[in-house]
Structure 1
Amino acid sequence: MKIVFSPIGNTDPWRNDRDGALLNIIRTYQPEIVELFFTESIWEGNNRFIGQKNFDWKFIINSISSDAEVRIKVDSIEKEHDFDAYKDLFHSYLVELENEYPEAELLLNVTSGTPQMEATLCLEYITYPKNKTCVQVATPNSSSNAGMKYAKPEDQEIDLEIVNQEESSETSRCKEINILSFREAMLRSQLKGIIYNYDYEAALQLLDIIPKGFRNKKKLRKILVNLTDKIKLHEPFDDIKKEYKDMNVQKAVFHTLLLGMRHRRGDVAETLIRIKAIAEFIVEKYIDKQYPGLIYYFNEKPYLNLEYDPVFIKEYISHAGHFLKEKENLLSFPMYRDILTLLENKGEVLKNVHAVNNINSLRNQVAHNLQSLNLYQNKNEKNIDTAVKAVEKLLLIVYPEVNDSTLNYFDQFNERIKEFI
């Protein structure tokens, strides 16, 4: 089934319509439905030109395609020369047709309207190409319409007969245009925007629906699949593994990068939930390295070694407020904070630990009580920002072999693949 959607942006049903562009489309494709769009001003007319309502459009179209259903849309357009004036309106009409006839092919006449109307239809095709075809009609002998006689309602039958006689012996002047270069440019712009917002899963989904001819599609897809799979599986990136051989460094770097990426992307609640776990991992490794023997591991879980320095243990027990029994003293981030408070009292590590601990109560409300996050209450947004930066600082302090530039991994990644987009 074929449906023609055609805006009429001039004042003549055939002669000034690029020598019968609309009629040429109908003659060529023999559509079942023809939907015409007129602005109210063109439909009604004025003292300078005859309104289109004075022409019998059903008679005109059925003289070429006798079974075609003719539908007429007339709308008041406030700014007819504005390129944005028709965007939502045309889209709504085409969606109506698609919903009513989901399997039909929509033939968009991009010749008979004003430049604004034609551009809008081209954009509609570029954005929503499914089941659509843009049809352009050349003038006879590539001539212009200058000097052509204007149609008059009282002469429409005679003029129509002449036009039909002239056209019946001619080959079709219709040309289906793909304007793929415009669509590809738009898709590339979309892809860049999504990638630069660090939404790599969405970029991959968009890439999967892009036509095969898209430049570097296979290469881009391979790169994005590799990246997104590693993010989903929490597996450090290959170049991180190559640069840092220590597995603990790889883990700390990878998860700190994910934390920063999600934060910049605006996934604030997800960022909040993850901050403590990453900081806890880094601080645990710091204590284990700086104070060997203080932590011992049982079933891969960290515990406070009660046989560590007796003076410290006594002080810690006093600080904790109760006696600690072996294997009941499983360590966690707040306990690491207390340990460092007693051991170091001050310093950059403890300063950043406090910044992370400052959002722990808020984190527990969101993570454990499933409460919604109010960013603009109690300086929550600022405190989360500070905590994310604190994790990054802890990473660089605890693992001085990590380069500052590594924290810009995703921006560097975006720049590397930009040449393929």
Structure 2
Amino acid sequence: MYFENTREFAQKLDQKDPLKKYRDQFLFPKVNDKRVLYFTGNSLGLQPKNTRQFVNDVMKDWEELAVEGHFYAQKPWWDYHERLANPLSKIVGAKPAEITVMNTLTVNLHLLMVSFYRPKGNRYKIICEEKAFPSDQYMLQSQVRFHGYEPDDAIIEIKKRDGEHNFRTEDILKTIKEVGDECALILIGGVNYYTGQVFDMKTITKAGHDVGAFVGWDLAHAAGNIKLDLHNWDVDFAAWCSYKYMNSGPGNASGCFVHERFHNQKEIPRFEGWWGTSKETRFLMKPEFEPMANADAWQLSNAPVLSLAPYLASLEMFDEVGMDAIIAKRNQIVAYLEYILKEIDEQVESSFEIITPSNQEERGTQLSVFLHGEGRKLFEYLMKKGVIVDWREPNVIRLAPAPLYCSYSDMYEFGQILKEGILNKVS
């Protein structure tokens, strides 16, 4: 598409934006009494205005019904989490029965590994990407130690080629084939948190299954951001946080996917709790565990309703908009941001290097940018000017213009502030 680096052009794009009304459905922080330019939806999404009402509804039911709210609230608490399954299934490409919401992301990955990391004999190795998000690294290391293995032996990291910022699918497939029947599990972040690269999950999942391994995905930076088709890709399991692109609030509940072929398996290893047992017999307090016939069998405790309320509020908006519309705007607004960055790069002495893939199929909302010749003071300048971005050492800023609340005018104004900061030599 043809772009211009002008305020008037950006405003015209905003006027034509079919999602423009949703921007006013979010609450923006202010800096110097001005609404911020918010680029960190990949860390914490903004608060939807309807969130407070969803939480207040729960508080009112608690006030008026107390324990009876479990069954007689307008949205009864005992099955509150089930309301999230249908809208989430559309976001991640699953059947509603394959979705549950519980705990937080790393907790859920640990719990899912009870079922899907089952080392035996020669098959005990885990394949992941190098420099995975630290929480994933710690989780994998502790899991293999728990099973009596050494991380240096049991964890195989896929490497980037020298001088390259992103992984090549052919290198991932080669590693999977080389590890072969020693591979017990492949667990990778669906979108790399540092570069924003989207992995070819369908192809990698098939390659993992071809060597007899389970394949799971950490979708922290993928859910609500990119097109997912977990069921049809034949993914075994996945988990994601809800507070990034899905705007559920800080540290909020995590979603899980478990493929339907693992449902109704009483013998499958897993840590069990009473919220995973049959709804029909749950309150009979029977000593035997009778798993739910869906992903809820992995539930442990009763749902944290006050945490789920903000998530449900956001999912209501996602369900109304649909992922296709979100992705369509995402593609255009990220392309416009990329254009702005390149335009500013030509006007200043510094050199920008976008390390996120340029191919639209290999990226989502995030652009990661090396600011060569610039230091942290430029980041601090942007923040003082009300441009909320994310800094990663040594000199990378991550920019994630969330389609529901970021505008094309935001992209233009950011470019002007960035240019001003560099020309003023704030670093």
Q: What range describes the TM-score normalised by the shorter chain of this pair? A: under 0.3
TM-score by length of 1: 0.21
Higher RCO (C-alpha under 8 Å, 6+ residues apart): 2
Q: TM-score, normalised by structure 2?
A: 0.21
User: Between Structure 1 and Structure 2, whose CA radius of gyration is higher?
Assistant: 1
Please state which structure has a larger fraction of its residues in helix. 1
